[in-house]
Amino acid sequence: MNSKVGQSIFIVSFGRGEDCQVTIDKAQKEQHPLYMQIADGVVRLIRDGQLPDGARLPTVRELSQGFAVTRVTVQNAYNELKTNGWADATIGRGTFVTFAQPVHSETIEIAVNKMTPDRVMADLSVIKEKEDIISLAMGEPDRALLPAKAFMKTLRQLEADANVLFSYGPYQGDPQLRQMLASLLRERGVRASAEEFIITTGVTQGLSLSVSALCDVGDRVLVEQPTYLGFLNLLKTYQLQPLGVPMLEDGPCVETIERFMREERPRAYYTVPQFHNPTGSCMSLEKRKKILALAKQYDVTIIEDDVYGQLHYGEGVIQPMKALDTDDIVVYLGSFSKMLFPGVRVGFMIPPTSFKERLMSFVRARELCGSPFVQRGLAEFMRSGALHKHLSHILPIYKERCDAMLAALGESMPKEVAWTRPEGGYCCWVTLPEEIEFGELYRETLRKGVAFTPGVVFFQETSSTRHLRLCFCTQTPQSIHKAIRILGDVVRRLLRRPSKQSLHMELQQPVV
C-alpha cells in the first residue's frame, strides 16, 4: 500500500497500477466529507472494473494510515458502501466488493388487512423470484418458453438502421409495426388500418391514457366483478368511481349493466371479454352484441382489454368486440406481453376515430414516444412469421397446463369447491363454498411452497374471501399437480372447521 502526501491530497492504492487508486483532497472536506470521498473513490474503481466482484478491500487500519484519517472516517466510508450494496463485510474475514447483489432485500409482507390490489401487486413480484415457491400467482408467460434469443437475432438485423432507430420515433408508433398489427387483427375480424393504431408501452399505459382522456375526476366507470386488479388500481389513481357488474358464466350480468347505464351515467365500461382476468371465462357473442347496443344507446365508451386474445386453446377464431363495433365506440387494447413476452413493453390500441386525436395529444404530452428500435424489431419478428410460429409452439403447451390444472382441481379439491373451465388465457377462478379465514389459507399455502392470488383483490368493495385466482401458464403439469394437492389439503382443513372471522358483506349475485 503506497501513499503519497501532498499539501492536502492523499492517494492510496487498492490494487496494481495507477488505475486502481483512490484520491482524497482534504482541502475539499467542507463540500465533500472525507468518508464520502473515500466511498466515492471505491465506487468508481468498482464501476470501472478495477475492483471486481468479490475483491477484498483494504482493512480499516490500512486505509486510516494511508489516508491519514481516523478509523471512524474509514468505517463511515465502508458503511456507506454497504448501505448502497457495493460491499459486504464478513466478521474476521474483511470487507468484499459485492457488485450486482440485490440492492435491497425485500420481504414478503402478507396480512389480510394489507390485501389491497396495490400491495398484492407489489408482493407478487417479490414472491415470483423465490425459487422454492411454485407460484400460480402471476399472470405472465413461462420464462422458459420465451423466444428471447430469436428476438435478439431479429434485433441484430436492424444494425444498419440502428442510428435512426435509437432516435426519437413517431408518437403514434412505428408504421411498420402498426401495419403488421393491422394484419394480425384482421385475422380476427377487426378491420382497422395501420393508421388507426397507436402503439403504447403496454395495455396498462393504454388503459391509463384512455381512462384519463375519457373521464374527469369523480366519473363512474363500469367494471366487471371480479376484474383485473390493475384496472381497479388505475381508477383509484385517477379518482374515478368503479361500478361493479357481477360476472355470470357467459360474461357480465347484462341487466345490471343496463340499470347502471340508465341510472348512473357511467362514462366507460371496462371489459376483458376474451379469457377474462381473473375468471378465465369468455363473454358470449349474444352478450357482446347486447352490450354494444346498450353502450351506443347510453353513450358509454367500451374499453376492451384483449390482452389474452391470441391465447386461445380451442378451435376457431373468437372475434373481439371491436370486430362487431359498427358504431365506433370501442377502444380496443392489446399487447405483446402475454402472446410474446412482457420485457419488450409494447402494447397497442385502436381507439374510436373521433377519440384518436385527443389520445394522440395525451401520448405526446405524457409519454412522447416508445422505443423505435424495439418496435421495429417486433415488426420484423412478425413479418418473418416468428410470432405465428411462437404461438403455434406455445398454445399446445399452455393447453396441456390448463388441462392439468382442471384435472388436478378435480382430484384434490373437496366436492363443494367450484372453478371455471377456461379455453384460453392464463387463469382459472376457484370459488370456495363459504368464507374462510383467508389470511391463514394464504400464509399456510405459502409456507408449504405454493403461491396464488387472493380473489379479494379483484373486487372493488366486497371483503369476500371465497375466491382464488390460479395461473397455470408458468408451471409444468407436474408442478401444477403438486401445488394443487398442497392447496387442496389446506382448503380441506380450513373448511372442516367453522370460520372464526365473520363476514362483512355477502355477494349479491352469483360469481363464476
Regarding 18 and contact with a copy of itself (CB under 8 A), the answer is: no
CA-based radius of gyration for the chain: 28
Give me the least distance between CB of 158 and a copy of itself, in Å please: 8
Please give the distance of CA 75 from its chain centroid, rounded to a whole number.
40
Regarding 93 and contact with a copy of itself (CB under 8 A), the answer is: no
Regarding 29 and contact with a copy of itself (CB under 8 A), the answer is: no
280 neighbors 429 (Cβ within 8 angstroms)? yes
Cα dihedral value 185, 382, 125, 105, nearest 10: -160
Coil, strand or helix: which one is 433?
A: coil
Regarding 79 and contact with a copy of itself (CB under 8 A), the answer is: no
Q: Are strands 251-252 and 241-248 parallel, antiparallel or unpaired?
A: antiparallel
Residue with smaller CB distance to a copy of itself, 2 or 107: 107
Candidate ranges 7-15, 37-45, 394-402, 433-441; the one touching a copy of itself (CB under 8 A)? 37-45
Regarding 23 and contact with a copy of itself (CB under 8 A), the answer is: no
Regarding 219 and contact with a copy of itself (CB under 8 A), the answer is: no
| One-character DSSP codes across 131-185 | TTSEE-------GGG--HHHHHHHHHTTGGGHHHHTS---TT--HHHHHHHHHHH
Give me the least distance between CB of 170 and a copy of itself, in Å please: 6
Count Cβ atoms below 10 Å from residue 448 Cβ, excluding itself: 15
Regarding 367 and contact with a copy of itself (CB under 8 A), the answer is: yes
Regarding 217 and contact with a copy of itself (CB under 8 A), the answer is: yes
Among 169, 278, 351, 425, binds a copy of itself (CB under 8 A): 169
Among 182, 190, 248, 446, binds a copy of itself (CB under 8 A): 182
Q: How far apart are CA 386 and CA 196, in angstroms?
A: 24
Candidate ranges 22-30, 67-75, 294-302, 335-343; the one touching a copy of itself (CB under 8 A)? 335-343
Among 114, 130, 289, 366, binds a copy of itself (CB under 8 A): 366
Regarding 179 and contact with a copy of itself (CB under 8 A), the answer is: yes
Candidate ranges 80-88, 261-269, 401-409, 482-490; the one touching a copy of itself (CB under 8 A)? 80-88
| One-character DSSP codes across 292-330 | HHHHHHHT-EEEEE-TTTT-B-SSS-PPPHHHH-TTS-E
Among 25, 62, 88, 118, binds a copy of itself (CB under 8 A): 118
Candidate ranges 174-182, 326-334, 485-493, 496-504; the one touching a copy of itself (CB under 8 A)? 174-182
Q: Could you tell me which of 2, 3, 67 has the C-alpha nearest to residue 35?
A: 67
Dihedrals phi, psi of 305, to nearest 5 degrees: -95, 105
Give me the least distance between CB of 509 and a copy of itself, in Å please: 27
For a copy of itself, the binding residues in 139-168 under the rule CB under 8 A are: 140-141, 143-144, 146, 148-149, 151-152, 155-156, 159, 162-168
Q: Give the strand order in the sheet containing 3-5.
A: 3-5, 9-13, 21-25
Q: How far apart are CA 473 and CA 463, in angstroms?
A: 28
Residue with smaller CB distance to a copy of itself, 32 or 493: 32
